[in-house]
Chains A and B, each alone.
Chain A
Amino acid sequence: MSIFEKIAEEVIKGQADSVKDLVQTALSEEISAEDILNNGLVAGMNVVSVKFKNNEFFIPEVLVSARAMNSGLDILKPLLAEANVKARGKVVIGTVKGDLHDIGKNIVGMMLQGAGFEIIDLGADVPKDKFLEFVQKEEADVVGMSALLTTTMIYMKEVIQALKDAGLREKVKVIIGGAPVTQSYADQIEADGYAPDAASAIDLTKNLLQQ
């Protein structure tokens, strides 16, 4: 088994300490940080993502794997920055103002990160100004909004309007999700896409950025 396969396997198993050790070993063998990231950590999370999509993995297991991936990524981050390695895309993500539920948003964030995207997680209860600030500052490719309540999902429309008013709407794709959200609501508020679950959010993001 190659070192990449070993790293991927330990990510799938959620073994954070082993991932750290294996990443260090790979670096000591002069393997580039980018190769370790793509062929080890991301490859492992891709398997997790497929298993989750196929209903073979439970949600907490995905997060345990994400923690393992992060433990390796923390070692690689300064080296990736030094080598000027770019992520697949930059996603600003948050649960909208008035809503404190963040489980779905966190899972989507973790899985997008595992798919090679850079995530700027604004947390929960995020006002539109904060979305705007980070979309602009980070030059985000995608903004992802989540809401768990019918009373808070209406705020998504306000964020989209604010993006339009600030002249940013054409520069960023908007995706939405959450229990009460539907494709029809996404169409109504002119979001670029809706995902009914975390696995679909990954495919949606990839597809939107390929357009």
Chain B
Amino acid sequence: MMQEGNIPVIAVQADTIPRAYEQAIKEVWEKGISVRTEYDRPGDPPSRDATVMIVVHEPFRQPRFHRSFADGLGGLAEYVMEVVHGAHDYWVKPLEEILKGTESKDTRWTYTYHGRLFEYRIEDEVINQINAMVKKLSETGFTRRAQAITWNPKLDPPTEDPPCLQRVWGRLCEDGEEGYIFNMNTHWRSRDLFKAWFENVIALTTLMRKITEAIAESINKRVQLGRYVDISDSLHIYGSYFREIEGDPERGIKSFFEKLRGRSFEERTWHSDFVKPYFIDDGLGKGLKPMLEREKDMPDPVKRAIEKELRLMEKEDHIV
């Protein structure tokens, strides 16, 4: 029995992303410690919180999509483009404004994951850390040095909303059949389990597949996707979500867990085949096509990358 004040440490293993998501919510809800956060509003109960490692054995196994997340499918597609292709890197404010920290009146963003992973700025240089990972793993698959970081110790501590993702790490292992398996771990400082984890993982596993494909092309050998591991120092359910998690029987509002129990697993998830048309265009102004039409200021190379993604999605065998 751990002494009070120790943060619980939880491990979750599942075959698919939705299974992992549901198990993690159950575990953190039941075993998490009560801790306050900087984002609590007056009257909010403390968050439920734990240090958590989640293993997804087959990140692209179906059903890949849980139906519980705080956006639509078109919005999720746009978020994936933000992480993988830098769709919103142009929303980041200039360096002089970032350096003002909380004094800055400019409400644009201070970073994007794509910006930090693909264009990390240090000593007047811009480093594409993902390309470096691909290069390193192509040369020495078993290396333990292939990683990409996000944290900037100068820019991040003074801001209101510093990056949650800290590090992406990968390693190539032989599959015993003359091919390789790409294993990827992501490390997170802090994480909103209930409303952000699932979308984060869809984006990060899409990035994982891009890295896998790039290594395969570089070494001209078969490289398959391996397990995805997701480690959070603080994986939490915010107090402001408790009403949604607990429900309100007097007002006929179901708890989150009743909602899960009331449906089969198939009825609370979606397969990639169902999701794909919504990723292309959700019919409500979101998705790759509307995004390209709407975001006129998006730089041309990013637009071209998203157009390429669209062409891939239009192929029948491409899984989102």
Contact = CB atoms under 8 A, between A and B. Distances in A.
A204 B253 CA distance: 18
B71 A59 contact: yes
A27 interface: no
B42 to A, nearest CB: 7
A60 B41 contact: no
Given A60-B71, A149-B107, A71 B254 contact: no
Interface in A62-103: 63-64, 66-67, 70-71, 98-100, 103
B144 interface: no
Main secondary structure, interface of B, reads: loop
Given A55-B247, A63-B282, A66-B284, A103 B253 contact: no
A16 B283 CA distance: 10
A151 B103 CA distance: 10
A18 interface: no
**Interface bracket on A:** 20 to 34
B283 A54 contact: no
Interface in B35-49: 41-42
Nearest to B65: A60
Nearest to A67: B283
Interface string A47-60: 00000011110111
A15 to B, nearest CB: 11
A83 B42 CA distance: 50
B125 to A, nearest CB: 29
B73 A60 contact: yes
A53 B253 CA distance: 7
B69 interface: yes
B153 interface: no
Given A54-B254, A182-B41, A61 B259 contact: no
A110 interface: yes
Question: Which bracket fits the contact residues of B?
Answer: 35 or more
A66 B258 CA distance: 24
A99 B108 CA distance: 8
A152 interface: yes
Contacts of B247: 55
B29 to A, nearest CB: 15
B256 A60 contact: no
Nearest to A98: B107
Contact of A103 (B75, B240, B255, B282): B75
Residue in A54, A55, A103, A182 with the greatest tally of chain B CB atoms within 10 Å: A55
Nearest to A50: B252
A106 interface: yes
B107 A59 contact: no
Q: Which of A53, A54, A60 gathers the greatest number of chain B CB atoms within 10 Å?
A: A60
Interface string B64-105: 000111111111100000000000100100000000000000
A63 B72 contact: yes
9 contacts: A54-B253, A59-B68, A60-B69, A60-B71, A67-B278, A67-B282, A70-B284, A100-B88, A121-B285
